[in-house]
Structure 1
């Protein structure tokens, strides 16, 4: 590869990365992104593949719309392929490593920049494909820019979906096969196989496209054998060996991907052939072909030509492309027919809340490649930018071609700018009001704006309406927030970097088709392009991380996460009932916690479902301490089934408010596995001779500092009790200094003594959180009751007049 080309590729990648960074929202748009991010997070932080952090999504829609599937033990797993999470893993790890240096960056926000890198690399690879087919570097640059800025690849560069990776991997497969056809070197087949493997591991349905690529490879091999039939006729063994090596180079990565998927399915669902899709609940290939085809290609709602007008020139370009590159042209045509046909009959062909036909994003680089003959005619005709000897006059046909392509490119650029500037989800919500549907049955949902007569309801037109209403209120730019805050540093540095790279690209273009290396900038200058892109990304991430959408430092949920991570132990788990705040731990927890803490995210009512009950039971057996977080819910809220379930199974240590969030610590029964009930048979009396008997206690005999210690008290009411008595349990030093305590109403606040029946035994489950660096030794464990409404002394007394009951000695090691 020439220095000239390498320099141009750097400029293209850096230019696109800056554009994508400046137009990134820094937030999720669609819950599908959340599912994929949860998988990425689990893999990197814990080496797991569950998405329990968003378990609540399993019960928000119909079975056909949920994003995951339950495993045999009730855990939630994403239906998404593992490749996007695995490939983005190093990027997530890098962001986490930076955050662990006490640099305040949002890991979620930084991860949303990943597909911008992937899409920029796809544009660069498209350039290489063009040069491999015999076109100039300047044509390659134009194709890369058209793909990166004038198709739906741009909006999806700012989403955390798998489609951008599918586009890159499929194009890599195409490039490998095309290069192998020319060179015959097996390493290019291996590259093609790797691309195919990643594509299948991203979306299993892409196996259909891989089959098309395999047929193309067989055609290449057949053509080569036919051309050399006279020479090879006497060398059958050598030919067979060559075919075997070629098949191995292409097939080995696919076999590895297949093995990965089988293992992935087995880990998730206990069956290597179960993918998690709910075909029995309405998902599947059930849409009439023409309905889906019309919707994906022509309809105002999702039609590809509405969302990427540039591609209107693709059929024209295809005719010219086919004349010069028949094999590759047929391959692209069959790939198009296969993928468009596949998703035309998919039950949700429109892709849910999305921008344009997101399932067709993987085809966009191929469709832009088909424009190469048109671009070549411009480059070799009148479009000789930077050349003083441009020939005149310009032929009329070329003038028309130039105007046609330029007009479509500008229109496409404007459409993509609308898509990334204004939050299209706002208009999707409006469409649901214009075209109402049965919210109780999303499977019956009919996509709106399907007729051409409904053109005014197209999301493209909708973006214009939102822009006219209020850019600030509908902004989808991280540097322009809805609250009026403008991140000026991001904008200034970004525009400065963009201007610099545009100038450098113009200088690169002016060097001509055969530049001399001595006319290029020095190598330090050439390497500034990636540094500029990194500077813009760092500035964007630094300023975007202050978005109040992700909480304020040392307040609310973030303060809770800081405390959890500061005290985290390997046997800890976090249960959150904050379904509208899932993004806060996703953004900060990875950088705060030295180790991954399993997070189980539920909505208040989710414990009504047997899968959630099964998981909660497993948590009680697998972890020693539970951190429980709620948002906007008071203690013992009647709708909070999760907290009620914890009260029945776990041992409560404390309960604190952090603004509108609560943090509760629980111990699990694990520490009591080897402990037995110790009989006490000690009763306590009020001043009115109301009597409560403590029959037994159960507690671990030995603990360590910083651990949480569960304690069970078996008691009964001997007489009716009128007052609202409360328990206290304390751990004391030899000098009667309190080192840990808990104060609670019966049943962790779900009952009152005045409501309890007489003569029935109850078990009170409490826990003591031991302080850090608690000195080893012997400590007294005591318990008692008091009436907060009675005058002091308000504690109940034993027959000997003591205001507490000694429960035993606890050894701290």
Structure 2
């Protein structure tokens, strides 16, 4: 399944650049200030990971608990589990199961699986992009993934979204970066195939990515990646259910609520309404949980961040296309909201392009007032969402789930019951660790927002000075 790099960087002749060549990015400043800032950002990244690790985990629930018992059934009882979800992701947790058996509590150890996957994903991203991306931009990207995304809600359990997000996200990065070895690209495509097979509906999203690569590179070999993922999905279904076309979700449906399309099975939700809900609903909408995804960064990537190569632009595009595919496939699904779960569960992958876009906008020195305001709003939402998912993720408005989820839509669509805003309505008592967590996120917010506020103040004062003549009273007439 190896494939050539999606973006080979051409060697440029030595000497002076042509007059119409794009300007090179400003060199990174050296000195005490930059060294201090770099150290602080690395400390914040490490502290964020430690905070995710030491925060007490709630009891396993839902799909996470189902995956746990399926793994136990397979490894301890030597029986093929009949759960509808893939076993590919849980199987990679087998070493943790061995440690848990030795420790005497497999669930306590296995619940750390998603955090370990996330940490390994961060290390892989850093290793792949180091030397290819401005160091400050790379640190900001990693810091936003740790402390400016909804990852905290996803490393508290044994759900499968982290495995798919990390394997597909890092896999696409490894497989399409220019200058990587053949084995690195092959390992990247293998990771992509495993991640997609772990969540079969994402095959549609992979299809869109493959289509982009095929048309851009004029090569059809990328279709082998899609074929390999489809074969793996069919093979697992055949081994477990005796039918390669077995559809585990075909007959599932939710309860009847006040919503007009509730209680219908399968892909029965009106597609336009599903798209609107996934993008804009207050309780699950990507606009509120991954606001960086909506920032215009194409020109900034081309002019300010990546003028001489196409690696960063390419991976941002591929990640965004994959998110678009997820929206398309889940919009008609009756449970587009992901059940009783904090935030847009099926769209964890979106934190990759969203965090990268936000990191790029944070470095846009020439951004105007409106662009700065948009970036500032995205930073506020992102860091607050990260803090909320860790500190207030347990806060469930029970009215949404009483009477067989009769009023569940309140948690999906209304601000008052959205997980982002319900802490302001129902203020819980916090532990010392939770207060310390909020203080840490506040520090991250101040660190990221302060340069934006300084630039905004400069732009505003410049604009006011330019219009000072409007305030001259001698020029006013009746």
- Normalising by structure 1, what TM-score? 0.43
Correspondence for 1:274: 246
Correspondence for 1:614: none
Alpha-carbon displacement from aligned partner over 1:57-102 (angstroms, at most 9, x marks no partner)? xxxxxxxxxxxxxxxxxxxx11111122111221222222233xxx
Larger strand proportion of the pair: 1
**Pairing 1:120-159 to 2, within 5 Å after superposition:** 120-128=119-127, 130-131=129-130, 134-159=132-157
Equivalent residues of 2:176, 2:185 under 8 A apart:
no
Equivalent residues of 1:13, 1:124 under 8 A apart:
no
The match for 1:212 among 208, 213, 216 is 208
Equivalent residues of 1:173, 1:195 under 8 A apart:
yes
Alpha-carbon displacement from aligned partner over 1:117-149 (angstroms, at most 9, x marks no partner)? 2122333444456547x4222211110110121
Correspondence for 2:52: 20
Counterpart CA distance in 2 for 1:9 and 1:253 is 38
Q: CA deviation at 1:358?
A: 0.7
Equivalent residues of 2:395, 2:419 under 8 A apart:
no
Segments of 5+ residues of structure 2 without an aligned counterpart are: 1-34, 254-263, 445-478
Correspondence for 2:476: none
- 280 and 23 in structure 1: CA distance in 2 versus 1, 3 angstrom threshold: closer
Q: CA deviation at 1:447?
A: 2.3
Correspondence for 2:188: 192
Query: 1:92 and 2:97 equivalent?
Result: yes
Q: Which has the higher contact order (CA 8 A, sep 6+)?
A: 2
Correspondence for 1:431: 400
- 86 and 12 in structure 1: CA distance in 2 versus 1, 3 angstrom threshold: farther
Equivalent residues of 1:175, 1:192 under 8 A apart:
yes
Q: CA deviation at 1:151?
A: 1.3
Counterpart CA distance in 2 for 1:469 and 1:373 is 35
Segments of 5+ residues of structure 1 without an aligned counterpart are: 51-76, 100-105, 224-242, 382-394, 481-490, 503-813
SS in 1 for 2:383: helix
Quote the RMSD (CA, aligned, Å).
3.8
Alpha-carbon displacement from aligned partner over 1:662-708 (angstroms, at most 9, x marks no partner)? xxxxxxxxxxxxxxxxxxxxxxxxxxxxxxxxxxxxxxxxxxxxxxx
Q: CA deviation at 1:33?
A: 1.1
Q: CA deviation at 1:402?
A: 6.1
Corresponding residue pairs, total: 388
Correspondence for 1:685: none
Counterpart CA distance in 2 for 1:130 and 1:402 is 26
- 376 and 131 in structure 1: CA distance in 2 versus 1, 3 angstrom threshold: farther
Counterpart CA distance in 2 for 1:459 and 1:332 is 26
- 23 and 84 in structure 1: CA distance in 2 versus 1, 3 angstrom threshold: same
Query: 1:355 and 2:342 equivalent?
Result: yes
**Pairing 1:408-427 to 2, within 5 Å after superposition:** 408-424=378-394, 426-427=396-397
- 122 and 254 in structure 1: CA distance in 2 versus 1, 3 angstrom threshold: farther
Correspondence for 2:292: 311
- 329 and 150 in structure 1: CA distance in 2 versus 1, 3 angstrom threshold: closer
Correspondence for 1:486: none
Equivalent residues of 2:45, 2:147 under 8 A apart:
no
Q: CA deviation at 1:332?
A: 3.6
**Pairing 1:207-606 to 2, within 5 Å after superposition:** 207-219=203-215, 221-222=217-218, 251=224, 255=228, 258=230, 260-279=232-251, 282-308=264-290, 310-311=291-292, 314-321=294-301, 325=310, 327-377=314-364, 381=365, 397=367, 405-406=375-376, 408-424=378-394, 426-427=396-397, 429-433=398-402, 439=404, 447-449=409-411, 454-466=414-426, 468-471=427-430
Counterpart CA distance in 2 for 1:415 and 1:330 is 24
Point out 4+ residue stretches in structure 1 off by more than 6 angstroms.
7-13
Correspondence for 2:66: 35
Equivalent residues of 1:301, 1:459 under 8 A apart:
yes
Counterpart CA distance in 2 for 1:445 and 1:271 is 38
- 278 and 215 in structure 1: CA distance in 2 versus 1, 3 angstrom threshold: closer
